[in-house]
Amino acid sequence: MAKGKAVRIQYGALPYRVRKDASLELLLITSRDTKRWIIPKGWPMKGLPPARVAAREAFEEAGVKGRIDPKSIGRFVYEKRLGESGLVVPCEVTVFALAVRRDLKSWPEADEREARWTSPAVAHELLDDEGLKVLVARFADQHVGTSKRSAKVPRDRAASRDGKQAPRSQDAGESSFDQASVPDQEGAPPASTDQAPEAPRTMSVRAAGSPSATAPSRPPAARAKAD
């Protein structure tokens, strides 16, 4: 990076989904000019917090919507060429993880970019930016660690008054480019936080439940190819 140059700020999204076999997939897109593999990212927008900006860029550039984590997974710096002027400036990108819920067939920049779902290992090979490669590898490692820990966690102990398991929330806090939120389940009552009556101490100890199953992911949608 050239000394003395001001660093520009951008916000990016790392779209991901988890398959039925618990494997992680990441969505990459190509840049419009050089066709390098990158992630959706863009400049700050007045009135929008960084995570919302990242979610909007994911919709416009990659055609996906979902749940954006308000806490970033890290930053990386790359050299960006500005328009026709050809001026190259350093940009620092703050990245937010986006759990994809909707994979659209049509989106604003579908004719300008290619989008591809891929494994973390393949993503590491496709990406050029070393800082972004580090972020992707770290995010994938955290997913593997979380998957192993979740296999040992008992099911949610929240129950309704009749002792049946309370429903889990679905897609809470889903974010889209217009900042709309998607309810957990249409017409479904909220999960009860009441605990089932405690058994007398003379009875056998309550056994831990089996781990909750991972929700099946959406089947991959056909992606539009760049012209």
Please report the domains of the chain, with CATH numbers, ordered by start residue.
Answer: 8-148 (3.90.79.10)
Strand partners, 38: 29
Q: Which of 142, 147, 127, 139 is nearest to 73 (CA)?
A: 139
Tell me what the pLDDT averaged over the chain comes to. 74
Distance CA 140, CA 218 (A): 19
Give the pLDDT of residue 87.
84
Q: What is the pLDDT of residues 150-164, one digit of tens each?
A: 555 444 433 333 344
pLDDT average, residue stretch 159-181: 37
Are the beta carbons of 73 and 40 closer than 8 angstroms? no
With H, G, I as helix, E, B as strand and everything else as coil, classify residue 140.
helix
Residue 16, H or E segment: strand 8-18
Strand partners, 94: 11, 75
Give the pLDDT of residue 147.
64
Give the pLDDT of residue 164.
40
Are the beta carbons of 28 and 116 closer than 8 angstroms? yes
Q: Which of 174, 171, 172, 168 is nearest to 68 (CA)?
A: 174
For residue 196, pLDDT over 70 is answered with no
| Angle ∠(195,201,206) on CA atoms, nearest 5 | 55
Under 8 Å CB-to-CB from 159, ≥6 apart: which residues?
165, 166, 192, 194, 195, 196
Is the model more confident about 12 or about 85?
12
pLDDT average, residue stretch 23-39: 95
For residue 210, pLDDT over 80 is answered with no
Is the model more confident about 183 or about 75?
75
Token digits of residue 163: 């002792």
Q: What is the pLDDT of residues 88-130, one digit of tens each?
A: 889 999 999 999 999 999 999 999 999 999 999 999 999 999 9
Give the pLDDT of residue 227.
37
pLDDT average, residue stretch 47-73: 97
pLDDT average, residue stretch 30-36: 91
Is the model more confident about 169 or about 117?
117
